[in-house]
Amino acid sequence: MREPESRKTAKAVQEPNKRRKAASQEHVTRRKILDAASDLFRDKGYASTTLRQIADAAGMQAGSVYYHFESKDAIVSEILDLGITYVFDEVKRRVEKLGPGAEPKARLEVAIDGHLSGLLSHESFLSANIRNYGQLPEDLRKKNVPLRRAYVGYWDALLLEAQKAGAIRADLDLKILRLFTIGSLNWTVEWHKPDKGSIEELSMQIKSILFDGISPVG
Amino acid sequence: MREPESRKTAKAVQEPNKRRKAASQEHVTRRKILDAASDLFRDKGYASTTLRQIADAAGMQAGSVYYHFESKDAIVSEILDLGITYVFDEVKRRVEKLGPGAEPKARLEVAIDGHLSGLLSHESFLSANIRNYGQLPEDLRKKNVPLRRAYVGYWDALLLEAQKAGAIRADLDLKILRLFTIGSLNWTVEWHKPDKGSIEELSMQIKSILFDGISPVG
DNA sequence: GTCTATAGATAGATAGAC
DNA sequence: GTCTATCTATCTATAGAC
């Protein structure tokens, strides 16, 4: 997502065709590195993953990675931001698709669908994010904070309007509810197996537990 | 919990007083190392934590740690097992305290209380476990698997008897319910702040969401 | 039981050829 | 853009003094 400005502007005017092809190729290689790295960060953790392993999985030598990223930190930082963006975009897309007059409960339902879908469709990015975020050095975490804050702010607004509209019990603490909800959704990356059922089915079960509880009658 | 057998049996007969004092001191030092290590493993991750940092936080030099543990792996392995044991023991204790004739729903409720209490009372051990387990080498994970299996087996039994007794809706998939429930409880280590409310209050809110759902009336 | 000193391995990052 | 080669730092673990 972030492009290396210096290189991008270097030969911007001349040879538009060649440049476009090169930029596209660059994008492909960057993507290969990010995909390889997110798999490794998820499976072995950030610190245990070596640049040689990332390079190997991306089909190149360790030194070559530094043409595309200035450091190992820069790779994980981009993965953190991309992960939140995937989920946030999918949630917003589905909520906005409902239109401005939609019921708050319906908006909440599609937000859950969107979160789960974004999460599990880009599982390695989100799993890498969820598993590593809390253990990264503070300066790396800080760069991801604005996006995270914006995302939880969006949820807080959804939950508040739902409670005001009577779709959520008035006695529930919305902060706890948000943490509980997003947390339980995030945890699905640890156990959801795509072959054991679709994301849609999983989302239905979870919404059913969340809205109506596990007790009968309800 | 695990003691180094060789040293323990070495001078077992003579000087019972001195030996007992030495063994107790050894236990204290081991504990210091485990406490220091679990804090660091939680905050920085297993791979990023160095033996020098563990030793420093435990008030000794790096080389001295090897008198108590044969490797860094042995430290994390003991932390993994201890974490599950704390939670499992607390859950069993509370369930068994209810007696054999207790209602399945009541047993489930105290199991949730026990899990949360064991989890948050030994937060650094459980957080270290939850955060690092999935990224550890397979041989380390494998040693922790029997305890984990026993624990989820206990939960599966609790949930099954509750569903059979009509305390859980018949349409819910118990495997998903168990993963969802334990997952949402485990995630509390990421956000629960002891100063913002007691574990008991938190457990009440979570049980309320889980049993009755967030929708009103129910 | 704890110390100091260090062996041996491997990491992230850089330099310069092509 | 990717390669090879390598610098410098730092890690786990061990050895032997006390």
Position A218 scores a pLDDT of: 52
DSSP H/E element including A27: helix A16-44
- Which CATH code for domain B5-212? 1.10.357.10
Write the residue in A180, A188, A205 that is nearest to B173 by C-beta: A205
Q: DSSP states of A172-188 as a string?
A: S-HHHHHHHHHHHHHGG
pLDDT of B133 over the 90 cut: yes
Write the residue in A46, A166, A216 that is nearest to B169 by C-beta: A216
Residue to mutate among A38, A126, A135, A179, with most B CBs inside 10 A, is: A135
Write the residue in A48, A134, A218 that is nearest to B212 by C-beta: A218
Share of chain B above pLDDT 90, in %: 87
| Chain B residues in contact with A134 (beta carbon < 8 A) | 131, 190
> Nearest protein residue to D14's C1' (by CA)?
B63
**Chain A positions touching chain B (beta carbons under 8 Å):** 42-48, 105, 131-132, 134-135, 166-173, 176-177, 179-180, 183-184, 186-188, 190-191, 202, 205-206, 208-216, 218
Structure tokens at B210: 């889980």
Could you give the count of Cα atoms lying within 13 Å of A29 in the half-sphere of its Cβ? 18
- Answer yes or no: do B47 and A43 touch at CB < 8 A: no
Q: Which residues, in sequence order, are CB contacts of B80 under 8 Å at separation 6+?
A: B129, B133, B140, B143, B144
Which amino acid is present at B5?
Answer: E
- Answer yes or no: do A168 and B216 touch at CB < 8 A: yes
Position A197 scores a pLDDT of: 94
Could you give the count of Cα atoms lying within 13 Å of A165 in the half-sphere of its Cβ? 15
Structure tokens at A4: 């290396």
The mean pLDDT of A33-46, rounded to a whole number, is 98
pLDDT of B3 over the 60 cut: no
Name the residue in chain A with its Cα closest to that of B213.
A213
- Answer yes or no: do B215 and A180 touch at CB < 8 A: no
Position A25 scores a pLDDT of: 85
Question: In the structure, how far is the CA atom of residue A144 from the C1' atom of nucleotide C12, in angstroms?
Answer: 23
pLDDT of B46 over the 80 cut: yes
pLDDT of B18 over the 90 cut: no
B23, closest nucleotide (Cα–C1'): C1
pLDDT of B131 over the 80 cut: yes
pLDDT of A50 over the 90 cut: yes
| Chain B residues in contact with A218 (beta carbon < 8 A) | 169, 212-213, 218
Interface A:B, Cβ pairs < 8 A: 134
Please report, for chain A, the start and end positions of each structural domain, with discontinuous segments joined by +.
Answer: 5-212
pLDDT of A55 over the 80 cut: yes
Position B16 scores a pLDDT of: 44
pLDDT tens-digit readout, A106-139:
999 999 999 999 999 999 999 999 999 999 999 9
Strand C surroundings (CB within 7 A): A 49-52, 62-63, 66, 70-73; B 22-23, 25-26, 29, 55, 60-64, 67-68
- Answer yes or no: do B167 and A215 touch at CB < 8 A: yes
- Answer yes or no: do B169 and A45 touch at CB < 8 A: no
pLDDT tens-digit readout, A76-99:
999 999 999 999 999 999 999 999
B28, closest nucleotide (Cα–C1'): C1
Give the C-alpha separation, B196 to B207, whole Å.
18
pLDDT of A9 over the 60 cut: no
pLDDT of B15 over the 50 cut: no
Banded model confidence at residue B25, pLDDT cuts 50, 70, 90: confident
With vertex at residue A157, the alpha carbon angle to CA A152 and CA A162, rounded to the nearest 5 degrees, is 125
pLDDT tens-digit readout, B75-105:
999 999 999 999 999 999 999 999 999 999 9
Give the C-alpha separation, A49 to A45, whole Å.
6
A73, closest nucleotide (Cα–C1'): C12
pLDDT of B161 over the 90 cut: yes
Alpha helices in chain B (DSSP H): 5-10, 16-44, 51-58, 62-68, 72-97, 104-121, 123-132, 138-164, 174-186, 199-212
Banded model confidence at residue A217, pLDDT cuts 50, 70, 90: confident
The mean pLDDT of A7-33, rounded to a whole number, is 63
For all residues of chain B together, what is the average pLDDT? 91
Position A5 scores a pLDDT of: 36
pLDDT of B218 over the 70 cut: no
Provide the positions of strand C that have an atom within 7 A of a protein CB: 1-6, 10-16
> Nearest protein residue to C14's C1' (by CA)?
A63
How far B13 CA lies from chain A's nearest CA (Å)?
A: 46
